[in-house]
A and B are shown apart, each in its own frame.
Chain A
Amino acid sequence: MGNVPTTVKHCLSYKQIIEDYPWLKSWLEEEKIITEHEYPDFVKIVEVGPRDGLQNEKENVPTRVKIQLIDMLSTTGLSVIEATSFVSSKWVPQMADHTDVLRGIQRAPHVRYPVLTPNMQGFQDAVSAGATEVAVFGSASETFSRKNINCSIAESMLRFEEVISAAKDRQIPVRGYVSCALGCPHEGNIDPSKVAEVAKGLYEMGCYEISLGDTIGVGTPGSMFKMLQKVMKDVPIKSLAVHCHDTYGQALPNILTALQMGVSVVDSAVAGLGGCPYAQGSSGNVSTEDVLYMLHGMGIETGVNLDRVIEAGDFICNALDRRTNSKVAQARGRTL
């Protein structure tokens, strides 16, 4: 056997190896880096609880409760809080008080309060009510578009062009959403090139950011990767956001995958508000608290105070008389 070092046994000790062969250390340090991913230093969270969240809650929430929720969220460090939606109250009764909400909130400096505007009527009402940022919703699925907003994707894009043009005239930024980015409740699988096509269309029309939504939460890191690869070819990565639903528990690994690919804007909802209208009783939006826990644990800055978000979540859950969907809030609330 000759001169076999004592470290050569059943198991090698890394520490011992370095002691025996000091020259190895720098070589091994280089090798180590390969397994590390690069993550953004900062992730912007877009809080959609007051709009997307409440819109999908069965209980009708009084206007003052909505206002209080938004005011609480405004003190957490969040820089974007989607306040309400200027759709017809016939379709979305929960958002009927859009004007009162927008006028009633205490706008914090450095916080933006975008509102949904599906068409020119909605846009004009939003502007009258004091909106300074708006959002439009496209779909990567023809069937979903027809069933949801009663027109084809192409027709909806024409509608949005009007809104975006009017918004440009008033220097109002517009955010674009693409729903069904990873699957459609009617069509099933969605071709990533279709998602890219719609995202590109919205971006070229003038949307400053495109939020890619896994509307029914069926996506996994596999489909997220493929979809983003395609979309990134047509829209700069810094203009992309992911809006993951947690219906199948996949939201956080999907968000992680997006971060690994360079995405640095994530949509989420306090307390995971908003069930899934396509899987009754199931969860919908990913919880802001759970996203923050993961990001902070990875050393990624968000500027958001987790405890304050948990408080806002407690408040709205009490008001709705429902349990939070956030696992972090559940764990924190019950630690022995």
Chain B
Amino acid sequence: NFSSSGPFSVRLIYLSLASVRAAHSLPGKVKIVEVGPRDGLQNEKTIVPTEAKIHLINMLTESGLPVIEATSFVSPKWVPQMADQVEVMNGISKKPGVSYPVLTPNLKGFQAAVSAGASEVAIFGAASELFSKKNINCSVEESLQRFEEVMKAAKEAAVPVRGYVSCVVGCPYEGHVAPEKVAHVAKRLYSMGCYEISLGDTIGVGTPGSMTKMLEAVTKEVPVSALAVHCHDTYGQALANILIALQMGISVVDSSVAGLGGCPYAQGASGNVATEDVVYMLHGLGIQTGVDLSKLMDAGAFICRTLNRKTSSKVAQATCKL
């Protein structure tokens, strides 16, 4: 009986595997991390006025979402859509119990975020060397070292940090990405102190096949309760991939209201999975999310009117025409 004897390390393995075994029934609750105002808007061509961003975030708060990624403290030179980061942070009505994480690519961004009132931040690593070089101009290892600075400052300020790993099942430059590389980067971020690691299918090429292999490798290194999936719907695979992840014990899912945010690597193609479609599936499975789908759809309708674009959510398209 391994569970009560043997070295500590062996007992820890047994416990983590037991949780993997039990995970083939679905979680009772799933936490949705709403990335529309940041990841979504960041990839929209039209610049959205600050008041509209604030109104969107407030509507999303009203819908019951527990985590809403509000903005990004990157240089406005690189991401003009996020130039009003400070005004957005100061303008939103923060509901108690709801988190409003912001992206902080480096120490400078972190300091600016904290000054603007951020109480949670996020950092982005990549599982692909080429993607890291092309996206943030340094190797994966160098980016992790940059993040150590942010982690140190965040620990001192008692600010929780979420880690993202991009290109977990495919890279626009490298093609196939080894699951072990993803596990390595996820593990580094987790060991550094990130409370949660969001695994991103950046170009949406993943299928239940590649998702399973990647998650099997990552769950060996990071506890499944600290993992999230961030699926893109570029090839229509997002919901199927999310279902597989749930079956493997994952209970945190990133999504974007109205499926905001196209794919910068496949022009005109879709990007983020729509929160409405995710919530529809989860509720249909009897999984609790705390989200009111009709209020969520109101938020989606609002931002689509503002952007003068059609929603990417199929639920929103279907429901408004019955």
Contacts and interface: CB of A to CB of B under 8 A. Distances in A.
Interface of A: 4-5, 7-14, 17, 20-21, 24, 28, 31-32, 34-37, 217, 219-223, 246-250, 252-253, 255-257, 276, 278-283, 287, 290, 293-294, 296-299, 326-328, 330-331, 334-336
Contacts of A246: 314
Contacts of A34: 20-21, 24
Contact of B244 (A14, A28, A219, A256): A256
B284 A250 contact: yes
Sort A-B residue pairs by CB-CB distance and give the 9 closest, nearest first: A220-B284, A297-B207, A327-B236, A249-B314, A298-B209, A249-B277, A290-B236, A14-B220, A222-B285
Contacts of B243: 221, 253, 256-257
B305 interface: no
Interface string B180-199: 00000001001100000000
Interface in B227-242: 233-237, 239-240, 242
Nearest to A219: B284
Interface stretch (B31-39, B93-101, B263-271, B294-302): B263-271
A8 B235 contact: no
Contacts of A296: 207
B282 to A, nearest CB: 8
Contacts of A257: 243
Interface residues of B, number: 60
Interface string B16-31: 0100110110000000
Contacts of A220: 280-281, 283-285
Contact of A276 (B191, B266, B318): B318
Given A17-B13, A248-B314, A331 B285 contact: no
27 contacts: A5-B9, A8-B8, A9-B191, A13-B187, A21-B9, A24-B10, A28-B13, A28-B17, A34-B21, A35-B24, A217-B318, A220-B281, A221-B281, A248-B314, A249-B281, A250-B281, A250-B284, A279-B318, A279-B322, A281-B321, A293-B235, A297-B208, A298-B207, A298-B208, A298-B209, A334-B269, A335-B269
Q: Which of B206, B235, B270, B319 has the most CB of A within 10 A?
A: B235
A294 B208 contact: yes
Could you say which of A11, A37, A252, A334 has the most chain B C-beta atoms within 10 Å of its C-beta? A252
Contacts of B21: 31, 34-35
Contacts of B12: 8, 12
Nearest to B169: A297
B269 A330 contact: yes
A246 B23 CA distance: 28
Interface in B205-257: 206-210, 212, 216, 220-222, 233-237, 239-240, 242-244, 247-248
A290 B235 contact: yes
B235 A10 contact: no
Given A248-B314, A249-B280, A257-B243, 19 more contacts: A8-B8, A11-B187, A12-B9, A17-B13, A24-B13, A36-B212, A219-B284, A220-B280, A249-B239, A249-B274, A249-B281, A256-B208, A256-B240, A256-B244, A279-B317, A290-B237, A296-B207, A299-B209, A330-B270
Nearest to A256: B240
A252 B236 contact: yes
Contacts of A253: 239-240, 242-243, 281
B61 interface: no
Contacts of A294: 207-208, 236-237, 240
Nearest to B267: A334
B105 interface: no
B313 interface: yes
Contact of A248 (B234, B244, B265, B280): B280
Contact of B10 (A9, A21, A37, A249): A21
Most buried by B among A31, A276, A296: A31
A32 B267 CA distance: 39
A326 B236 contact: yes
A222 B286 contact: yes
Contacts of A7: 9
B20 to A, nearest CB: 6
Given A11-B190, A250-B284, A252-B239, A334 B266 contact: yes
A17 B270 CA distance: 42
B40 interface: no
A253 B317 CA distance: 19
